[in-house]
Amino acid sequence: MLFKDVVGHSETKKHLIEGVKKNRISHAQMFLGSEGGGNYQLALAYAQYVNCETPKEDDSCGGCPSCIKYQNFQHPDLNFFFPSAVSKEVKTQPSSKKLTKQWIEFSKEKEYFELSDWTDYIGAGEKLSIINKLDSQDIIKSLILKNYEAKFKVVIIWWPEKMNTDCSNKILKVLEEPNPNSLFLLVGHNSDELLATIISRVQIIKLNNLTDKEIITGLIEKEGVPDDLAESLAMMAAGNFNKALQLVKNPDGDEKFIELFQTWMRLCYVVDFLNLDKLIENIHKMGRIKQKEFLEYGLRVFRECMIYNYANPELNRLHQKEAIFNKKFAKFIHGGNIMEIIEVFEHTHTAILRNAYAKIAFMNLSLKVCNYLKCKP
Ligand SMILES: [Zn+2]
């Protein structure tokens, strides 16, 4: 991938390129940023740049043998490690190596993606995906072999948060004393979930969230989206370029949640436990990935309420059905409860990702929301 094809992050790109020119290349780096924000894409562009045979002033050449292999995700000195799970293709003892072929096909198909896109792709569905002991053995094995042809053998670990303890412990040593011709690029999303021992051994490249402006430019350049549509999609995507691309393909992507969310909030307001219980039963059946998306949808509605109350209602980007509801609902969301509401939603989001029992998590959340909706501004 070329730097120019990565949306936004212009300052970080400059900084990375400058480092390579001055021969300051740290052997273990972590590109830390939110999902869909381009941290994986930036790590790939960086790896391609350090190995490019005829680099240009501000990007890889895109045409040398190394670049061509990189762009096809098939360079003998480029190794990918990522969460895997028992899936359609691999029935027992899953590992990154066993799924590399699928990973390459997936990477060619989708320029931007999230963990749930990958687990959907391999048919792992709701199963927990991890980077395991087999992967750590393969990482170490790949480093023992001499580089085939590249200046730097690159090991990209996508979602190092998903390494199990066994794997983390095994790779600590290689992070500490890396082979001089190797480059470890970790692509992380949440530093709270990473072992301190891993964090202390890597140089962190912290990426800012993409701005609406960067997403708008990306949508116009990559997808040819008209300016005004790009503007409204960027607003809904909230820094996640993958989400913005999904919305281009399916602008009503959130529609399935509109009614469910509105009913939920009405039941919380009137504290109707009997019907809340039935509604939560339905949420429970949706499965973890949809539950996560539903909570993200809720956070977006609250943000729109705050914009309606405190900024300019004209800045709201809502479906008609949402706009009608929000006009009445917005007065219940204000400075007196917004921080608490965001916190409990985010807490539930994390709990769901960690496989909490959804029925209990959503009932706890509902009880809290019942109280917060009664708060005075
Ligand atoms: Zn090149």
Tokens for 201?
């051994």
Q: How confident is the model at residue 288 (pLDDT cuts 50, 70, 90)?
A: confident
> pLDDT at residue 134 above 90?
yes
> pLDDT at residue 82 above 80?
yes
Q: How far apart are CA 158 and CA 31, in angstroms?
A: 10
Q: How confident is the model at residue 53 (pLDDT cuts 50, 70, 90)?
A: very high
Q: Which 3-state string (H, E, C) describes the chain?
A: CCHHHCCCCHHHHHHHHHHHHCCCCCCEEEEECCCCCCHHHHHHHHHHHHHCCCCCCCCCCCCCHHHHHHHCCCCCCEEEECCECCCCCCCCCCCCHHHHHHHHHHHHHCCCCCHHHHHHHCCCCCCCCEECHHHHHHHHHHHHCCCCCCCCEEEEEECHHHECHHHHHHHHHHHHCCCCCEEEEEEECCHHHCCHHHHCCCEEEECCCCCHHHHHHHHHHHHCCCHHHHHHHHHHHCCCHHHHHHHHHCCCCCHHHHHHHHHHHHHHHHCCHHHHHHHHHHHHHHCHHHHHHHHHHHHHHHHHHHHHHHCCHHHCCCCHHHHHHHHHHHHHCCCCCHHHHHHHHHHHHHHHHCCCCHHHHHHHHHHHHHHHHCCCC
> Separation of 118 CA from ligand 1 center, angstroms?
28
End-to-end CA distance of the chain: give it in Å, rounded.
49
Q: How confident is the model at residue 25 (pLDDT cuts 50, 70, 90)?
A: very high
Please tell me the class of the 3-208 domain: alpha beta
pLDDT the model gives residue 251 = 64
Average pLDDT over residues 218-223: 95
pTM: 0.76
> Separation of 59 CA from ligand 1 center, angstroms?
9
> Separation of 138 CA from ligand 1 center, angstroms?
27
Q: How confident is the model at residue 329 (pLDDT cuts 50, 70, 90)?
A: very high
The answer to which of 47-51, 174-178, 296-300, 341-345 has the lowest mean pLDDT is: 174-178
> pLDDT at residue 253 above 70?
no
In the predicted model, what is the mean pLDDT of the chain? 91
Q: How far apart are CA 56 and CA 49, in angstroms?
A: 9
Average pLDDT over residues 296-323: 86
Q: How far apart are CA 185 and CA 178, in angstroms?
A: 12
> Separation of 215 CA from ligand 1 center, angstroms?
27
pLDDT the model gives residue 316 = 77
> pLDDT at residue 341 above 70?
yes
> Separation of 67 CA from ligand 1 center, angstroms?
4
Residue range 192-211, pLDDT digits in tens: 888 888 999 999 999 999 99
Question: Where are the domains positioned within the chain?
Answer: 3-208, 211-251, 255-373
pLDDT the model gives residue 147 = 87
pLDDT the model gives residue 126 = 66
From 360, 356, 352, 364, select the one nearest 116 (Cα to Cα): 352
Average pLDDT over residues 103-116: 93
Q: How confident is the model at residue 234 (pLDDT cuts 50, 70, 90)?
A: confident
> pLDDT at residue 279 above 90?
yes
> pLDDT at residue 45 above 80?
yes
pLDDT the model gives residue 72 = 95
Residue 133 or residue 252, greater confidence:
133
> Separation of 16 CA from ligand 1 center, angstroms?
16
What is the Cα 211 distance to its own chain's centre?
15
From 361, 200, 244, 343, select the one nearest 291 (Cα to Cα): 361
> Separation of 72 CA from ligand 1 center, angstroms?
13
CB atoms within 10 A of CB 346: 13
Which residues does 239 contact at the CB level (< 8 Å), separation at least 6? Answer: 34, 36, 37, 209, 210, 211, 215
> Separation of 47 CA from ligand 1 center, angstroms?
11
From 125, 112, 35, 133, select the one nearest 85 (Cα to Cα): 125
Are 185 and 47 in contact, with CB atoms under 8 Å apart?
Answer: yes
From 261, 257, 259, 229, select the one nearest 245 (Cα to Cα): 229
